[in-house]
Amino acid sequence: MPFSIISTASPDYISAVERFVPTWQANSGADRIDVFRLDGDDWARCIVQRNEILHEQLTARIGQKVLALDVDCLVLRDLSAGFSPDHAISVARWPEVQMGVCFFNLAFDFPWREWLDETLAAVKRAYLSRDATHVNRQCDTLAWRPRLHAIWRSVCQLGEWEWNYSCKELYQWERDLPPLQTVTRVLHLKGHGKWPAQKLSLAKRLWPEALACLDTG
């Protein structure tokens, strides 16, 4: 079955659309890619907007396969195998789930509308109760992680080294990635608008064909 990709870009991440989305077009295998712009006046509000868009798009596409992908991801090869025929959702880094790469098999028999409604409500509750001193605690992971744990039988646990490599430091990239050239499918840069040229240059050296479309500057 064909699949689509949906993503969002906050003001800090607009440059990621030109930098990284070409790798989705070249390598992901997706039939459709939609990137929605956010206009929230702070990070927490952008998170809520992102989840409102995700809720709207997933609800509208019940019966299809949809990958929700953070805009600061490089795609290195086909992603269609991330959808499990036996699970509603596939996600990496279990149990400490990070929602930057999340596969929704909306054709799977699951109470999608109710579950998505309740998840968006949980995100909004997390927003209202957020701790402003910890920006990462404002994000939707606060809501999504327990929601996914509660339906763990319906969640396929993907390997993070393949599906959501997201180590932050350059030395980790230099150490980890050379042996993973035939494994990794998604590199998650997580730079909040700042992506070191050294990381992009390293990635292009390791995956020259997959990233031929990428201008590393």
Tell me, letter by letter, the H, E, C secondary structure of the chain.
CCEEEEEEECHHHHHHHHHHHHHHHHHCCCCEEEEEECCCCCHHHHHHHHHHHHHHHHHHCCCCEEEEECCCEEECCCCHHHCCCCCCEEEECCCCCCCCEEEEECCCCCCHHHHHHHHHHHHHHHHHCCCCCCHHHHCCHHHHHHHHHHCHHHEEEECHHHHCECCCCHHHHHHHCHHHCCCCCEEECCCCCCCCHHHHHHHHHHCCCCCCCCCCC
pTM of the model: 0.94
Is 212 domain-assigned? Answer: no
Is 142 domain-assigned? Answer: yes
Question: What's the pLDDT at 217?
Answer: 46
Is 63 domain-assigned? Answer: yes
Q: Which two tokens stand for residue 216?
A: 């590393």
Question: What's the pLDDT at 134?
Answer: 55
- Average pLDDT of span 65-84: 97
Is 64 domain-assigned? Answer: yes
Is 217 domain-assigned? Answer: no
85: domain CATH number?
3.90.550.10
Is 214 domain-assigned? Answer: no
Instruction: Provide the number of structural domains found in the chain.
Output: 1
More reliable by pLDDT, 211 or 46: 211
Question: What's the pLDDT at 141?
Answer: 82
For residue range 118-174, list pLDDT tens digits in order: 999 999 988 887 765 555 555 688 889 999 999 999 999 999 999 999 998 999 999
Is 216 domain-assigned? Answer: no
What is the domain range of residue 137?
3-206
pLDDT at 30 over 80: yes
Question: What's the pLDDT at 216?
Answer: 46
In terms of Cβ atoms closer than 10 Å to its own Cβ (0-12, 13-18, 19+), residue 216 is middle
- Average pLDDT of span 95-119: 96
Question: What's the pLDDT at 213?
Answer: 92
Question: What's the pLDDT at 191?
Answer: 67
Question: What's the pLDDT at 14?
Answer: 87
Question: What's the pLDDT at 131?
Answer: 67
Is 34 domain-assigned? Answer: yes
